Chain A
C-alpha cells in the first residue's frame, strides 16, 4: 500500500471532527435503518425478529402506501411548479437595478426564514372557517357560498397545504434564479436588441435556453426537499382529514412514533431513500456536465 504523505495525514486530521459526526450520527443511523427494515421490531417487548423482505412485501401490497406515494408525487409536482413560476417571475422583475431593491428582496425572503410552526400557524389562522381573512374575503366577494373549511375538507386540504408550501419555499428558488439570471452574458442580448427582438422573445430564445441546465440543477435540489417535507404538512393538518394529506414522510412518522412499528417505518424510509438516490444521481450528473 502507498504510504500517506505528511500533508495527507494532517489533512485527514482536520477532517476528523466532522467525519466523527458523519460516521456516528448519519452513516451509523442510516445502516441501522437498512438493518431494521428487514426486522420486525417490537418497541414494547424489545424483541427483534428477522423478517426477511417481509416488511417490503407487506408495504408494497398495502393500499395506504401507494395512496401516500401518489399524494407525495402530486404534492411535490404541484408545489414545485407553483414555486418555480412564482420564483422565476419575481426573479425576472428583480433582475434590474433600482432604488430600494435590497429592501424588496429581503421582504420576499421573509417567508423562507420563518420557523415552520409560525408559517403553519399564520395560514391556519387565515384559513380558519370562522375568523380567517381568506374565508371571509371569499365569502364577501361571493366567490364561495358561505365560508369554506379548507383544512377540514378532504378535497381541499392537500391543495391548501401546497399553496402554503409554495409561499414558504419560493424565496430560496428566487434567490437562485436571480443569481442564474445574472450569469447570462450581456453580449447574448446585444444582437437580439439590435434585431428588435421583444422582451418575450429574448426570454424564450436566449435566457431560458442558456439557463436550461442551471435551472434543472436548482429545481432537482428543491425536489428532494419538497418530496421530504414533513414539518409543514404535519403542523397544518397532521395528515388529515381522513388521510387526505398523508404523504410519505407523514406516513413514516405515523408508523414510527404513532404506531411504534419500526420495521415497517424503516422500510418506507428506504423507499424515500431510493428516490433520494435517483434524484441525487441526476443532480451529480448535471453538476459534472456543468463543470
Chain B
C-alpha cells in the first residue's frame, strides 16, 4: 500500500479512536448550558473550572483518591516482593513439580475475578478485613501476582546464567545472587510489573465495589456511584472526576510504555 495513504488512514483511525477520551476532557471544561444542549458542541466556547471545584468541595473525591493511592501502592509493594522471589525461584532453581507450577501460574492469571469474588468476599469477611485496605490489597494480589511471575520469569530467563555461576564460585549465596545480580539486571522487567500493578489496581472495579464502602470507596467505585445511583447524572462533575481518574494511569503508562509493551507481548505471544 502507498506510504502516504497508509499514514493518512492511520491518522484518521487515530482521531476516531481517541475521540471519546478527548470528548471527556473537553466536556469537563464546559459550562452546564453547553453540556446539556441538544446540538453537540465539541470544543467548549467558554472554559470553566466549576466542575473541578465541585469535585474538591461540594462532592469531594479527595478521600477516594487517597484510598486508591494507598491500595495501589500497597498492592505494588507486596506484589513486588512475592513476584521477584517467585520468578527468581522458577527461573534459577531445579526442583520437582516446576513445570506444573509454571502452568498453575498461567492458569491462575486466566482465572476471572467474577469466579473468585464471592468466596473471596466471604473469606476476607472471616478475616475481619471487609472495608479495610488490606482486604482489598489481598483481592488485587490474586491477579497481579500470577501475571507478574509469568512476565518476570520470562525476563529473568534472558539474564545469562553464567553471571550467577561466576558469583557462586566467588562465594555468593542465593540471597546475594538474588539481590545483587538478578534484581538489578531485571530492572526493565521489574519496572513493567510495577506499572502493570499500579495501573490495574488503580483501575479495578469489581473487588473494590464489593469490599469497600462508605468513606473507604476507591475512586472508580465513587465515580460508579455518581453514574449508577442518581436518576439524572451530573455529567460535569462526573467528567471532571473521570479526568482525574485517568490522569495518573496515562502519565505512568507514557513513562514506562516501552518496557510495558515488551513485557506484554512477551506474555501474549510466547510463554
Binding site for B on A (CB under 8 A): 4-5, 7-8, 10-19, 21-22, 24-26, 28-30, 32-33, 36, 90, 93-94, 96, 98, 104, 106-111, 113-126, 130-133, 136-137, 167, 172, 175-176, 178-180, 183, 199, 214, 217-218, 221, 224-225, 227-228, 230-231, 235, 238, 249, 252-253, 256-257, 262, 265-266, 269, 272-273, 276, 279-280, 283-284, 287, 290-291
Contacts and interface: CB of A to CB of B under 8 A. Distances in A.
With most chain A CB atoms within 10 A of its CB, the pick from B95, B96, B118, B264 is B118
Contacts of A8: 93-96
Given A17-B86, A276-B111, A110 B122 contact: no
A108 B223 contact: no
A130 to B, nearest CB: 6
B40 A113 contact: no
Nearest to A122: B20
Interface of B: 1, 3, 6-7, 9-11, 13-14, 17-18, 20-21, 23-24, 27, 35-40, 42, 81-83, 85-86, 88-90, 92-96, 101, 103-104, 106-108, 110-120, 122-123, 138-139, 141-142, 145-146, 149, 174, 178, 199, 202-203, 205-206, 210, 219-220, 223-224, 227-228, 233, 235, 238-239, 242, 245-246, 249-250, 253-254, 257, 261, 264-265, 268-271
Given A29-B123, A114-B21, A15 B40 contact: no
A132 B37 CA distance: 9
B21 A180 contact: no
Given A131-B235, A235-B224, A126 B268 contact: no
Q: Is the interface of B mostly helix, strand, loop or mixed?
A: helix
B24 A121 contact: yes
Nearest to B221: A117
A117 B220 contact: yes
Contact of B104 (A17, A22, A115): A22
Nearest to B83: A18
The 7 closest A-B pairs by CB, nearest first: A11-B93, A228-B112, A8-B95, A29-B119, A14-B89, A179-B265, A18-B86
7 contacts: A25-B141, A104-B14, A117-B205, A121-B238, A131-B38, A176-B269, A235-B224
Given A25-B142, A256-B117, A115 B38 contact: no
B95 A116 contact: no
A131 B115 CA distance: 37
B93 A115 contact: no
Nearest to A123: B20
A33 B115 contact: yes
Nearest to B7: A98
A23 B245 CA distance: 33
Contacts of A5: 94-95
A238 B17 CA distance: 25
Contacts of B149: 18
A262 B120 CA distance: 12
B249 A180 contact: no
Given A17-B82, A117-B224, A199-B1, A7 B93 contact: yes
A33 B138 CA distance: 18
Contact of B21 (A96, A106, A122, A266): A122
Given A21-B145, A131-B37, A218 B269 contact: yes
Contacts of B36: 130-131
Given A107-B18, A176-B265, A224-B110, A136 B119 contact: no
